[in-house]
Amino acid sequence: MQSLLATLFLAFVIALPGTGKALYAWQPSPKEGLSENSKPESPEPPKPASEVSRRTELNLLGKTDTAAGESRRNENIQFNLVDNNALKELNVRLGTTVTVIQEFQPDRSYFGAEFGVVPRSPLHLGAGAFDKIHGRLHASHLNSIFSARSFFQVGDVQAAHENDYGFRLSLPAWDGAYLSVEGSQQKIRGSVNGNVLVPRPDERTPLATDPAIRAFVARLLAAYPLALPNRTDINERALNTNAPQHINSDTGATRLQQDVGARDRLLFSYLFTSQSVDAFQLVSGQNPDTDTRAHTARITWNRNWTATTLTDFSAGFDRVGSLLVPEENAVGPNISISGLTSLGPESAIPINRAMNMFRYGGMIRQLRDNHTWTAGFGLLRRQFNGIESDTHRGFFSFTNDFGRSSIENFRLGLATQHIRAIGNIHRGFRNWDMQYYAGDTWRVRPDLTLNLGLRYQPVTTPFEVNRFNIIPYGCDCNNVAPRFGLAYRMPSWLGTLRTAYGLDYGEIFPVTFGQVRFAPPVNHKIVIPSPYLLDPLGSLTHSGGVPDALSTTYVLDPELAVPYSHQYNFTWEPALASDWRIQLGYVGSRSHKLLLMWYTNRSHPVPGIPQTTATVNSRRADPRFAEIRRVINGSRGYFDAARVSLLLPHWRRVSMDAAFWYSKALDLGSSYSNTAYDQDSRLSRSQSEFLQGADMKGPSSFDQPFAFLWRLAYETPIILQRSNWVRQAFGNWNLSAVLLLKNGTPFTVLAGSDAPGYGNVDANGGDRPNLLDPSVLGRIIGDPDTSRERLPRSAFQYMEPTDERGNLGQNTFRKGGIRNVNAAVSKDWLVAGEKRLTFRAESINLLNTPQFAAPGNELALPNFGQITNTLNDGRTLRFMLQFAF
């Protein structure tokens, strides 16, 4: 019934006829052109670019860009709320948005912008004055009583609600002074539903005969829910269950503008953002609790020297503090059991860090004849302080090994591997990022404009304040970035041609170079095969031998440099009749020196030594170490896309825009967002330490060939010749809908074990099987009812233990696509004068369409080929009330 009503509502939104004034005045930016980011006016204030980028910069949960067609994410797919993990999660879940940057401005970097990444805003504050008091109060509410079940959910939707409220006040404070204050809070009391893999009823007792080991295994088994598997139709161990998750978010900001005389202006701003996440625990201690605190302060001196010359000088301070700790019921070490949900948060927890960034900048702009000249500089002093972890809580892996299944080994207490790091991991790193730039916008003639620019971006070598570690690479001081643009207005209907080119630099992330803290001699990461479960460092192995313990070391390449990208595009906007606008465009990029972790000193076949997991440390080329993990500029990225955009801003009260793009993204194992750290390093890990690039070349993790975005809005007519209350109640309602269609992103089939009979026994995961049936390549695995048929085990075969790699490629299959509709209805009421009351009701994922996650992709596990999760949540309704004056 709910789906039927939702469908009828959507049909009503799309099909309503009408005449008269259009609701939206959609106009493409004169610089950026038409894109899906060109949003209409809306009763809900549009999100500024800074708010959109802040979501990914701070890894904030509870945010959804519904205007771009996004549905609410399924919270049961957890990621650590640090670094750029939110951006990578969006890339894998939603893919990218092909974006044409039609002018590469010299004062900012556009690295990754072709994928939809919002460039960082300039340091300088912009001016804005107002002659009277303005304000806004808003509140929104989302409640589970209006929510639909997600696809795999068993039982009713659990009680949950979300409240978001805030204010904004702007007023002239005193002579020449203008003050703005705003604040908001978001309180989410959610219930996360998800599938976890738990032991069957006959697997819930230990098999170990040693009483101490038996008690330890029993404690680990007790971390799983008491409830038995209830989705045996998809997996014999699948349990669909619920767990609460609480998120508290606070934002406060103030801004003061003081005019000093006729030419000078001082601007001050401060923004505070915090989020506290009491994470869901479908399995005890599964996810870390997180606290994030961010401060952003700016001061700008603006001076108009003449009518054609102005300058800005600014200083700023940014601080981001992140604390991620295990939940109180966590079992202690990280326990990985193939075929079951892992226990404890991952090995990178705990994290307690603070990033301080001191920013300074200056800019001069001058208009002279047909030229607009711009020049300036920016300096950033970075302080990266705190604690990072890498298996310091300990890690045990239980896999298919020793002739038994992983779950049998778990119940016996026979681990394949133990990893434990010991040492001082508190560090403080310092370095400088700089930029110097100049540019000119030259109007050659009325129909021809050229943009020229040049950036110079040296980056100094980081150093550790206590001299615990030495960063081996030198200053990256040859980073010169030219840019060029052209716009030509052709005669008559031929319209306008634009083309642009820019070279932009990324960054060596602090968490990337900060990994040297894990290297000897101050820290030792010890790898022990076949460990004794209760005392892996001090006792004999479970097979009775002496522990063969070696330390993993981390090495930064002495030639490590900042990644960079060549980006280029071309657009044609023919002149159409009436208000129709169309843009045909191409965008491409070639990215070089992308960061990648290269796992070397792996175990290789040695005559006379058995090829087993117990002998991995005896078969390494350098017997002093276990793995040697090298951070290198080891990958390249290739991206090409065609995009067609259509805009109809005014027609019979209807406004519409649509965009279709076709794209291809390839890389050699890592992309523009890869930090070469923790989970990123494992995703880009090749099967063997040899021929890394050849083994990992394939579609990028966010590759989506086809995408279509359609937005429609309609305003109901004014009701005339009726009483005032009828006109107020039923006239001028705004109806809008967003449709997003996309291919799914790719995934890789893995062997699922490194043990003999499955993988190459080199003490590293990431092994892929051999392909027996090429007809399955490229298949879309997007339906739980057919997934096992479309991805059959019979199409693959395990490699031999002495093989370097399987012949199956990287990212050769694709998840199911995105088919999402968001819709809203809203109305404004003029209360008195300029006072306005707005009501808005919004449905996210109106048709309750699931976006399926990848199937089980490890051939050795029982859930291979089974889809057991969705990437999005079920349908929700959100109500908003706003009063503006």
* pLDDT score recorded for residue 721: 60
Query: What tens digit of pLDDT does each residue of 159-204 get?
Result: 999 999 999 999 999 999 999 999 999 999 999 999 999 999 999 9
Cα(606)–Cα(240) distance, integer angstroms: 46
More confident residue, 130 or 473: 473
Q: What is the pLDDT of residue 5?
A: 40
Mean of pLDDT values over 122-131: 87
Distance, in Å, from the CA atom of 821 to the CA atom of 842, rounded to the nearest integer, reads 11
Closest CA to 425 of 473, 391, 471, 463: 391
Distances (CA, A) of 357 to 53, 360, 471: 17, 10, 20
How confident is the model at residue 542, as a pLDDT? 59
Euclidean distance between CA atoms 700 and 641, whole angstroms? 14
Q: How many residues does the chain have?
A: 885
What is the predicted pLDDT for the residue at 579? 80
Q: Report d(CA 13, CA 15) in Å as an integer.
A: 6
The candidate with the shortest Cα–Cα distance to 227, out of 245, 246, 204, is 204
- Angle subtended at Cα 407 by Cα 401 and Cα 412, rounded to the nearest 5 degrees: 80
Mean pLDDT along residues 559-578: 94
How far from each other are the two terminal CA atoms of the chain, in whole angstroms?
Answer: 40
Mean pLDDT within 392-406: 94
**Dihedral Cα 80, 85, 89, 91, nearest 10 deg:** -170
State pLDDT tens for residues 60-82. Answer: 999 999 999 999 999 998 999 99
Report residue 650's pLDDT band, with 50, 70 and 90 as the boundaries: confident
Q: Band of the pLDDT at 140, cuts 50, 70, 90?
A: very high
What's the CA gap between 123 and 130, in Å, rounded? 23
**Token code pair at residue 848:** 């309750």
User: Quick check: helix, strand or coil at residue 873?
Assistant: coil
Tell me 29's DSSP state: B
Beta bridge partners of 428: 385
Q: Is the pLDDT of residue 28 over 80?
A: no
User: Is the pLDDT score of 49 beyond 80?
Assistant: no
Tell which residue, 119, 123, 31, has the closest CA to residue 506.
Answer: 119
Where does the pLDDT of residue 544 fall: very low under 50, low under 70, confident under 90, or very high at 90 and above?
A: low
CA-closest candidate to residue 61, choices 243, 193, 248, 328: 248
- For residue 826, is pLDDT > 60? yes
User: How many degrees, rounded to 5, is the angle at CA 534 between CA 528 and CA 540?
Assistant: 55
With beta carbons less than 8 A apart as the criterion, state whether 194 and 282 touch: yes
Distance of alpha carbon 317 from its chain centroid, rounded?
24
Please answer whether residues 304 and 328 qualify as being in contact, where contact means their C-beta atoms are separated by less than 8 angstroms.
no
* Residue 335 near residue 142, CB atoms below 8 Å: no
- The pLDDT value given to residue 576: 83
Q: What is the mean pLDDT of residues 566-580?
A: 91
Cβ within 8 Å of residue 68, ≥6 positions away: 36, 37, 97, 709, 738, 740
Average pLDDT of the residues in 530-535? 91
CB-CB contact of 461 with 558 (8 Å): no
Helix axes 85-94, 49-57, angle to 10 degrees: 110
Instruction: Give the model's pLDDT for residue 285.
Output: 92
Q: Which residue's structure tokens are 């349990």?
A: 239
Element (H, E) at 88: helix 85-94
Print burial letters for 704-721: b (CB count within 10 Å at least 16), e (below 16).
beebebbbbbbbbbeeee
3-state secondary structure of 799: coil
Tokens of 221: 């088994």
> Per CATH, which fold does 11-15+20-328+347-383+423-460+473-503+552-742+817-850+869-884 belong to?
Maltoporin; Chain A (2.40.170)
Percent residues over pLDDT 70 in the chain: 92
User: Contact at 8 Å (CB) between 74 and 872?
Assistant: yes
The per-residue pLDDT for 44 is 37
Of 115-119, 388-392, 539-543, 681-685, which gets the smallest average pLDDT? 539-543
pLDDT at 31: 35
- Residues 688 and 805: their CA atoms lie apart, in Å, by 6
Distance CA 10, CA 24 (A): 19
- Collapsing DSSP to helix, strand or coil, 852 comes out as strand
Across the chain, how many H-helices and E-strands are there?
10, 34
Q: Which two tokens stand for residue 520?
A: 């000897």
Six-digit token string for 589 = 């990029």
Q: Tell me the two tokens of residue 121.
A: 């805003």
For 587-629, how does the pLDDT look when each residue is reduced to its tens digit (9 = 90+)? 999 999 999 999 999 999 999 999 998 899 999 999 999 999 9
Instruction: Kindly report which listed range (36-45, 445-454, 631-640) carries the lowest average pLDDT score.
Output: 36-45
CA distance 472 to 630: 12
Tokens of 41: 């006016």
Query: What digits encode the pLDDT tens for the residues 414-471?
Result: 999 999 999 999 999 999 999 999 999 999 999 999 999 999 999 999 999 999 999 9
- Using pLDDT thresholds of 50, 70 and 90, give the confidence band for residue 4: very low
| Paired tokens of 741 | 């269609």
Mean pLDDT value across residues 34-48: 36
Within 446-479, strands assigned E span 448-456, 463-464
Using pLDDT thresholds of 50, 70 and 90, give the confidence band for residue 812. very high
For residues 84 and 672, give the distance between their C-alpha atoms in angstroms, rounded to a whole number: 11
* 244 pLDDT above the threshold of 70: yes
pLDDT at 41 over 60: no
Alpha-carbon span 519 to 551, nearest angstrom: 9
Residue 116 has pLDDT above 90, yes or no: yes
At residue 830, the pLDDT reads 87
- Please report, as a single letter, which amino acid is at residue 411: R
What would the mean pLDDT of 396-402 be, rounded to a whole number?
93
- Cα separation of 431 and 124, whole Å? 22
pLDDT tens, residue by residue, 696-731: 999 999 999 999 999 999 998 877 666 676 666 777
The beta-strand segments (E) located in 783-834 are 796-797, 813-815, 818-832
Q: What is the pLDDT of residue 663?
A: 98
Evaluate if residue 17 carries a pLDDT over 60. no
What does the pLDDT average to over 555-561?
97
Q: How far apart are CA 681 and CA 702, in angstroms?
A: 17
Tokens of 40: 């209409």
- Residue 477 structure tokens: 């001081």
Average pLDDT score, the chain: 91
Return phi, psi of residue 66, to 5°: -65, -30
The CA R_g of the chain, rounded to the nearest whole Å, is 29
Task: Determine contact, residues 97/116, Cβ cutoff 8 Å.
Answer: yes
